[in-house]
Amino acid sequence: MAIAADAGTVGAMVPTLVEVVDVRQDLPDTVSFDLQMPEPFEFEPGQFTMLYAPGIGEAPISISGDPANHDVITHTVRAVGKVSQALCRLRPGDRVGVRGPYGVPWPVRVAEGGDVVLMAGGIGLAPLRPVLYHLLHHRGRYESVVLLYGARSPIDLLYNQELRAWRSRYDCEVEVTVDHGGADWHGPVGVVTKLLGRAPFDGPATTAMVCGPEIMMRFSARDLIKQEVASDRVYMSMERNMQCGVGWCGHCQFGPKILCRDGPVLPYPAIEELLTVNEI
Amino acid sequence: MTKPLLAVWKFASCDGCQLSLLDLEDELLAITENIHIANFLEASREVIAGPYDLSLVEGSVTTAHDAERIVEIREQSDFLVTIGACATSGGIQALRNWADVDEFTSLVYATPEYISTLDTSTGIAEHVTVDFELRGCPIDKGQLLELVAAFLHRRQPNIPTYSVCVECKRRGTPCVMVAHGTPCLGPVTQAGCGAICPAYNRGCYGCFGPMELPNTEALSAWWRTLGADDRALVDAYRGFNAWADEFRHAGNVAAERADGVNDE
Amino acid sequence: MSDDGNGTREIRVDYLARVEGEGRLYARVRDGELEDVEFGIFEPPRFFEAFLRGRPFTDAPDITARICGICPVAYQMSSVHAMERARRAVVDGELRTLRRLLYCGEWLESHGLHVYMLHAPDFLGYESAVHMAADHREVVEQGLRLKRAGNAIVTLLGGREVHPINVRVGGFYRAPTMHELQTLVPELEWARDAAAETARWTAQLPMPDIEIDYDFVSLRHPDEYPFNEGRIVSTSGLDIAAEEWPEHFVEEHKERSNALHAYFRSGGMFKVGPLARFALNADRLTPLAANVVAELGLSMPCRNPFQSIVVRSIEMVFAAEEALRIISEYKRPPESFVPIEPGPGVGSAATEAPRGLLWHRYELDEAGRIAEARIVPPTSQNQAVIESDVRRVLGEHLHLDDEALTWRLEQTIRNYDPCISCATHFLKVEIDRA
Amino acid sequence: MEHVLSIAGLDRLLAHLAADGFRVVGPTMREGTIVYGDVSSAADLPGGWGDEHEPGHYRLRARDDDALFGFAVGPHSWKQYLHPPTLEVLTIASLSGEPVLIEPDPPAPMAFIGVRACDISAIAVQDNVFMGGAFVDRHYATRREPTFVVAANCTDPGGTCFCVSMSTGPGAAGGFDIALTEVLEPAHHFIAWSGTDRGAAVLEALDTTEATAAQVDAARRRVAMAAESMGRQLDTDGLPEVIARNREHPRWDAVAERCLACANCTMVCPTCFCSTFEETTDLADNSVRVRRWDSCFNDEFSYMHGGPVRESTAGRYRQWLTHKLSSWWDQFGQSGCVGCGRCITWCPVGIDITAEAAAVRAEEVAGV
Ligand SMILES: Cc1cc2nc3c(=O)[nH]c(=O)nc-3n(C[C@H](O)[C@H](O)[C@H](O)COP(=O)(O)OP(=O)(O)OC[C@H]3O[C@@H](n4cnc5c(N)ncnc54)[C@H](O)[C@@H]3O)c2cc1C
Ligand code: SF4
Ligand code: SF4
Ligand code: SF4
C-alpha cells in the first residue's frame, strides 16, 4: 500500500483534501463554498474539478469563482443527489477532496476584440461567472459585455446581490428574466432567449457562451445565429454523467466527444447535429 | 449522539432474509455499536417502542391482519426497507395468486374453515410506501451491510439494477447458456447475488427479480431454441419473484402459449 | 401477565423472541392449578404442498428450501432423497459424502446460532446475544465464529449460506475441487476445538434440574451418526423405514391448540431433535465428540430438556470432526450428479434437520411432475411435547414471580429451537372471533 | 532470427518466465471452456482441444491432434488482468479524523502466454485509452508496462472471427516480446521469434535451434491459411461515416427487440474500458473506492439527475455499435473493434455486430 500523498507518485484519480473556509447558502437548494488551496491553483473559466465528499463520492462541479484568485477557489452546487447533497451540507472547517482542474475552458481569448454574450439558465450561471470576472478584469480587451440570465422565479436567482452589483455597472449589460414572476417582480418574464432582441451586441463581432439546460442552449444558439452570430462563435457547456473526469470511465460520451476531455465547452457546429438526436 | 433505532419485522416468509443480518458474523457486533437493535424478535426479547429510524421488513402480506399491521409499522418507521423477494414481490407463496385459495387450503389443511387468509400474497409496496428495496431470495448479506452502512453515513447505497450477466462476467464465469446450452434467467434478472448459479454450472433462476429493462420476450424466444418448452418457461418465471410485474407478465404469456399448444 | 386477585394468573407472551418465526404462548393458572397452556403459532400459512403440485420434480429442493431460511439444507436433503427414491435412483460415493458435508455445515451454523445467539442468553439472564456481548464479548465472538465456520461449508458447497443453489436431485450442479475444500480445514480445526470448549462451557451453565421421560425418535444408521440415511427408530422400540412413517404416526388437528400435532398412531407423543439423536446414536459419535461426552459425564440418555444446549454443542464437535474427515478423504467425482429422467413414482425420505427429523413424501405423475407432496417438519412433531414440557416446567416453577416464570417458560420453548416458519405451512391460523 | 522451440522448450520458456518473477497466465480448460488462468507448463494448456463458435453458441471440440493453441479465443480477454473487473483503487482511512488516502500497490508483473494477434491490437487500443492521453491511469500502467507478451499466431480461427476485416490478425505484427506459430507436422513444435530485446534475451537463454527457411515458410503458410478461413467479414470501407450518419436508422429498434441489454458483449469485449466508481463506507471510519467494469447497456451508465440519457435498449445498442465502429475513431483515432468475435459468440441471444452493421449499411436512411 502506498500512502497517496507523495507528489509525483499519486494517481490521477487521487484527490487532494482541502479545507472549506466559507459557505454561503445561495438558494434553498444551492450552496457556494470556498476552498483554501494548499498550493496555488490555476484554472481557466469553464473548467471543473471533481469534488469528493468523503465517504460519499465524487461529482464534477464547475469552478464558479474568480480565476485571478489562486488561493481560494469557489464552487456552487445544487443539491440533486447523493454527492451534491453531501456537498451542500458542508460547514467551514470540513474537508473535501479536489481533483483538477479539468476540461476545455470557455474561449475567452478567442473572444478578445469583439462583443461577448453570456447566456445562462439556472445553475448554468455558475460556470459562466468566472468568465464574467475575467472579462471585467480585462475589460479593455473586449467590446460589449452582455450577460443574459434566466431563472425559474425571482427566488431562484443565483448570486442575486452580485447580479445587482453588475447591473449597476456601466461597463457591462446584465439582463435577468424569470419564467414565473410575482407581485414584486418588475423585470421581464419568459425564456432567456427573449432577452436577446434588445441586448446591445453586434452579431457578426460576437462570441457567445451559453450554459443551461440542453433545450435552452439549443434555442439560444438558434436565436444567436439568427442575430448573425457566427455559429462557430457560439459555445456551450455540455453535461453528461461523469465519473472520472480524466477520460477513462466512458460515461461522459456525447457521440464522438468525450466531454471531460473534449469539452465540456464545445463550439456549436461540433454538436449541432448531435443535439437533435435522442438518447445520444 | 444517540444511536438510531433499528426494527426488523416479519410477515409471511421463511426467516432467511432476517437471518442474513445474523449471518454477518464479522460485522454484527460492529453494527450493534452503530445502531440499536430495538425490535428484532428473532434475535432479542428486548423490545423498545417505536418510532424507529430504520425498519427492515421481511415477508409478504397474506392476511387481513398483516395488511393492517404493515400500515402501523409504516407509521412508526422513518425509513422503511423491504428485504427479500417475499417483501418485494410476494415471494414463492405468491403462486397462490394464480390459484383458487380455497382449494389450496383444503389441500393442506384438515379443517379448512379455520384458515383465514387473503387470496393473494403481495409485496409490501402494494400496501404502503417503501423507501428502498433489497432484492433476493434471500437477500445478499453484503448488500444488507452496504444498506446499513449507507444509512448510517447518510448516503445512497450502491445497489445496482443491471443484469446478473454483468456480475457473471466480472466474476469470469463462462456463460452457461452459450457454452453449455443451459437456460439462464441472468439476462433479465437483477444483479446482487454475485452471479452464483452460473459459477456453479446452473442457470440463474431469478431470485433477485427483474432487472431494470428486462427483455423477457427475447429471452423466452432464445430458451425455446435451447429446447425449453412453454411449460418450462412458465415454471421459470413463476418462481420466487412470480408476482413481480415483468416476470408475472412473461409467465402469463408463456402460460397462454402452453395452454394453446398443449390443449389440456 | 396478571393476577386478578382471585388466585388466577395469566401468562401471555404475544411474540416469542429468539425463535425462528412467530409464535405465542398462553397459560392460565387458577388457584395454583394449571388450567390451560397453549403454544400457538400465528405465522401465516404459505401453502407449499399445494403449489408444489404440478411443478417438475427437479424443483423440489429449491422450492422447499424456502420453507425455512434457517435450515434450508435439511429441506433440500429430504426432498432430493425422496425424489431419488421415487425415481429409483441411487446416489452414493463421493456425492453422498458431499451431502453429509453440506449437512455438517448446516448443523454447525444452526447449532452455533442457537447455542450462542438464541439460547445461552437465557441461561445467563440476557435479553439477547447483543446484550450478552456487552459483558461477554469473547463468548459471543466465539459463537459467531463457529457459526461462520459452518456457513463457510454451506457457502462453498452450496454457493451461499441461505438457500444454497448447488443442490439438485441426483447430486450437485458442481462438485468442489479438492483444493477448494482444503481451504476450509484450518477454520474447521479451530471450530472442532471451539465446539468442545463450548460443550464444557454450556455444561456448567446454571440450569433447572428436570428429568422428563421422553419417547425419543430419530434416524439410526448402521455406521454413522445420522444425517441423511437410516431407519426411523425410537426409545420405545420402533424401527421402520421412512416410507412407513404414515403407518406409525398421525398428525392430529387439535382445535384449541391451533396446530397439527404429530403422535404415534398407537397414541402418545414423542420428541425429535438433538436429545433424541443423542439418546439413540451416542455410540456413533466421532472420537472427540465421544470423549467430550465422557469427560462431561453426561447422563445417557439425557432427559433434561435444558441440557439440549450441551448436546447441541456436542453435535457441533461431531459436525466439525466429520467435516474434517470427509475433506481429508475427498476425491472430486468425475460427474457431479447422477442423471435422472422425469417419470412417475412415489418416494419418501427422512433426514435429520438440526431440529430433528424432517419427513417428505412425493407422488410424481407420468411427466415427473409433483402430483402430491407432504412435508412434516420437526417442530410440528415436537408441538405436543413442547406443550407438555411447558406444563411440567410451569408446574414446578409456580413459586417464581411472573417475570421470572415467563422467562423460564420461554426458555423451555427455546430448548427446542423451534422453527415456526417450517411448521406453518400446515398450521392453522388463529381466527379472532372477538 | 526465427527459432525452433520444442514442446519441452515451451516448458522451459514458462519456467524461465516464472523464475524471472512473472506470474505466468495462459489458456486453461475450465467448465467446458478455454479461459485464462495460471499455467506452469505445457500440460496446463488445452492440448488437443479446439473450439466451435457461432452467434450465441460455443462448444469445445476435441481435435485429432495435440495442438496446444488449436482454438480461437475463449470468453476471457487479457483486460481482466490489465484492467481488473473489480479493483479497490483508493482507501480513505479514518474519515472523521485526519483522513489518509491509500493507493494499493501494483501486483507482481505478469507474463501472458498465447496472446492472439487480435488481442494484441486490443491491448494497444486500451493502452491508448489509459496511457495515451493527458492523464495516465497508474493502475493500468503499473500492470501493463512490465507485462511480458508471448503471442501465439492464430492457425484455426473460429466461426465468429473477423480479424482480417479489421486488419488485426491472424498473425501478430508487433506488440509482443516473443511470438510463436504452432506447427504440428512433421513434429510438434513452434517457430518463435522475438519482438523486443528482452524477448530476444529470453529466447537466447532457452537452448533453441535456428529455424530453416523451409520451417519458417511452413509456419507462415499456416497463418496465411487461417486468414482464408475467417468465420465472418465486415466491410469497413467508409463504415465509421455510414454508422455516424445513420443514428436514426430503423435497425436500432429492430435489434432492440432481440437485444437483452444484458451487457455481455461489452463485458467480453477486449477493448471496452468503461467503469464505474463506487464509494463504500464500512462500519468503522473508512471508505473504499472501488472501480468496477460498467457498460453502456446499463441504465445508470448514462444517469443524470432525472433519469438516464439512454433509456431505451435501442439507444444503448446504438451507443455500443457506434462506439466500436465509428465514434472510437473520433475519440482515439482508431477502431474500437478488433474483430475477435467474442461479442458475437458470447451474446446470449446471438446478436452479430457484423450483421447489424451490414444491415445499417444496406438500408441507409436516405437524405441524412
Ligand atoms: C462538467 C460539469 C460541470 C458541472 N458543474 C456543476 C456545478 O457547477 N454545479 C452543480 O450543482 N452541478 C454541476 N454539474 C452537475 C453535477 O455534476 C451533478 O449534479 C452531480 O454529479 C450529481 O451528482 P449526485 O451524486 O449529487 O447525484 P445523483 O443523482 O445521486 O447521481 C449519481 C451519479 O450520477 C452522476 N450524475 C448524475 N447527474 C449528473 C450530472 N448532471 N452530470 C454529471 N454526472 C451526473 C454522477 O456520477 C453521480 O455521482 C456539472 C456537471 C458536469 C458534467
Ligand atoms: S425472500 Fe426468500 S429468503 Fe427471504 S424470507 Fe422470503 S422466502 Fe425467505
Ligand atoms: S450465464 Fe447467465 S448470467 Fe451469466 S452471462 Fe450467461 S446468461 Fe448471463
Ligand atoms: S461500447 Fe459501451 S461499454 Fe464499450 S467502451 Fe463503448 S461505451 Fe464503453
Q: Which of A88-97, C30-39, C44-53 has the highest mean pLDDT?
A: A88-97
Q: How far apart are CA D221 and CA D232, in angstroms?
A: 20
**Closest alpha carbon within chain A to B149:** A55
Q: How far does the CA of residue C68 sit from the closest CA of chain B (Å)?
A: 5
ipTM for the predicted complex: 0.92
Residue closest to C277 by CA, chosen among C251, C312, C304, C307: C312
The nearest alpha carbon in chain D to B184 belongs to D348
Contact C17 B44 (CB under 8 A): yes
> A207 alpha carbon to ligand 3 midpoint, in Å?
53
- Residue-wise pLDDT for A42-97, tens only, equals 999 999 999 999 888 999 999 999 999 999 999 999 999 989 999 999 999 999 99
Distance from CA of A56 to the nearest CA of B (A): 6
Contact between D49 and D62 under an 8 Å Cβ cutoff? The reply is yes
pLDDT in tens, D113-157: 999 999 999 999 999 999 999 999 999 999 999 999 999 999 999
Shortest Cα distance, chain C CAs vs residue B225, angstroms: 20
Ligand 2 pocket: which of C22, C46, C51, C66 to mutate (most atoms within 8 A of CB): C66
Kindly report the number of other CB atoms within 10 A of residue A7's CB atom.
7
A258 and D CB contact within 8 Å: yes
Residues in chain B with pLDDT values less than 70? 1, 101-102, 104-117, 261-264
User: Cβ D101–A14 below 8 Å, yes or no?
Assistant: yes
Position C418 confidence tier, pLDDT thresholds 50, 70, 90: confident
Measured by CA distance, the residue closest to atom 3 of ligand 2 is: B138
Strand order in the sheet with C345-353: C345-353, C356-364, C370-376
* D76 contacts in chain B (CB < 8 Å): 172
pLDDT band at D280 (very low <50, low <70, confident <90, very high): confident
B153 contacts A55? CB cut-off 8 A: yes
Cross-chain Cβ contact B222/D56 below 8 Å: yes
| Residue A82 distance to chain B (closest CA, Å) | 6
For chains A and D, count residue pairs whose Cβ atoms are closer than 8 Å. 134
Q: Which of residues 221-260 of C touch B (CB under 8 A)?
A: 253, 255, 260
Backbone CA torsion sign across A37, A40, A41, A45 = positive
Chain A residue numbers touching D319 (CB-CB < 8 A): 253
Q: Output B87 or C253, whichever has higher pLDDT.
A: B87
Q: 3-state DSSP call for residue D115? A: strand
C to A contact (≥3 Cβ pairs closer than 8 Å): no
Rounded to a whole number, what is the distance in Å from the CA of D320 to chain A's nearest CA? 11
**Which residues of chain B lie closer than 8 angstroms to A88, CB-CB?**
none
Measured CA to CA in angstroms, residue B83 lies from B62, B128, B209, D107 at distances of 16, 14, 13, 38
Pocket of ligand 4 (CB under 6 A): A 250, 253; D 266, 269, 272-274, 295-296, 319-320, 323-324
| pLDDT tens digits for range D200-258 | 999 999 989 999 999 999 999 999 999 999 999 999 999 999 999 999 999 999 999 99
Strand order in the sheet with C8-13: C2-3, C8-13, C23-30, C33-41
Which residues of chain C are within 8 Å of residue B32 when distances are taken between CB atoms?
Answer: 130, 133
Q: Are B193 and B140 in contact (CB under 8 A)?
A: yes
B162–A contact, CB cutoff 8 A? no
Grid cell of C208 as nine digits: 433447572
Cα separation, D137 vs D135, whole angstroms: 7
Ordered DSSP codes for C266-278: TS---B-SHHHHH
Indicate yes or no: CB of A11 within 8 angstroms of CB of D89.
yes
Query: Which secondary-structure segment (H or E) carries C331?
Result: none
CA of C14 to the centre of ligand 1 (A): 50
Whether residue C41 is predicted with pLDDT greater than 80 in this model: the reply is: no
B46-57: per-residue pLDDT in tens? 888 889 999 999
| pLDDT of C217 higher than 80 | yes
The identity of residue B59, as a single letter, is: G
Strands (E), chain A: 2-3, 16-27, 30-36, 48-53, 57-62, 72-78, 95-102, 115-121, 145-151, 173-178, 206-211, 234-237, 253-254, 257-258, 265-267
Whether C429 contacts C42, CB under 8 Å: yes
CB-based contact D130 A55, cutoff 8 Å: no
Q: Categorize the per-residue pLDDT at C208 as very low, low, confident or very high, splitting at 50, 70 and 90.
A: confident
A56 touches chain D (CB under 8 A): yes
Chains with 3 or more CB pairs under 8 A to chain A: B, D
The SS3 call for residue C155 is: helix
- Identify the chains in contact with D, defined as 3+ C-beta pairs within 8 A: A, B
Q: Quick one: pLDDT at residue C422? A: 46
Mean pLDDT value of segment C122-149:
92
What phi, psi does C78 have (nearest 5°)? -60, -40
Q: At what angle do helices C274-281 and C308-329 cross, to 10 degrees?
A: 70
> Which residue(s) pair with A207 in the sheet?
A116
**Residue B136 C-alpha to ligand 2 middle, in angstroms?**
8
Pairing of strands D307-308, D303-304: antiparallel
**Mutation for C interface: B46, B61, B135, B200, most C CBs within 10 A:** B200
Which ligand lies nearest the alpha carbon of D327?
4
Provide the pLDDT for residue A182.
83
Q: Whose CA is nearest to atom 8 of ligand 3?
A: B165
**Could you please report the per-residue DSSP string of A177-214?**
EESS--TT--S-BS-GGGGGGG----GGGEEEEEES-H
Ligand 3 atom closest to B184 (CA): 2
- For B158, which residue in chain A has the nearest alpha carbon? A56
- Count of beta carbons in the 10 Å neighbourhood of residue C291: 13
Q: What is the mean pLDDT of residues C210-214?
A: 90
Rounded to whole angstroms, how far apart are CA atoms B180 and B173?
12
**How far, in Å, is the centroid of ligand 3 from the Cα of D32?**
15
Closest B-chain CA to C114: B43
* A129 pLDDT more than 90: yes
Question: How deeply is A220 buried, as exposed, middle or buried, from its count of CB atoms within 10 A (0-12, 13-18, 19+)?
Answer: buried
- CB B87, CB B56: distance < 8 Å: no
Q: What is the DSSP letter of A233?
A: G
Measuring CA to CA, which residue among C322, C331, C411, C329 is closest to residue C102? C322
- Tell me, what's the pLDDT at C184? 97
Ligand 3 proximal residues by C-beta, below 6 Å: B 164-165, 168, 173, 175-177, 184, 186-187, 195, 198, 204; D 262, 264, 348
B contacts of C165 (beta carbons < 8 Å)? 196-197, 200, 202, 205
Per-residue confidence (pLDDT) for residue C397, from 0 to 100: 82
Whether residues A86 and B155 touch (CB distance < 8 A) is answered with: yes
All three cell numbers of C193, joined, read 476445538
Closest residue to B44, CB basis, from C46, C128, C161:
C128
**Is B166 in Cβ contact with D298 (below 8 Å)?**
yes
Positive or negative, the CA dihedral A226, A230, A232, A238 is negative
Amino acid present at C72: P
Find which of D25, D58, D260, D266 to mutate to test the B interface (most B CBs within 10 Å of its CB): D260
Confidence of residue C287 (pLDDT cuts 50, 70, 90): very high
- Give, as one character, the DSSP assignment of residue B44: B
* Shortest-distance ligand to the CA of residue D347: 3
Is A82 near chain B, with CB under 8 Å?
A: yes
From the alpha carbon of D264, which atom of ligand 3 is closest? Answer: 5
Query: pTM for the full model?
Result: 0.92
Of the given ranges (A224-238, B93-107, C160-174, D181-195), which has the lowest mean pLDDT?
A: B93-107
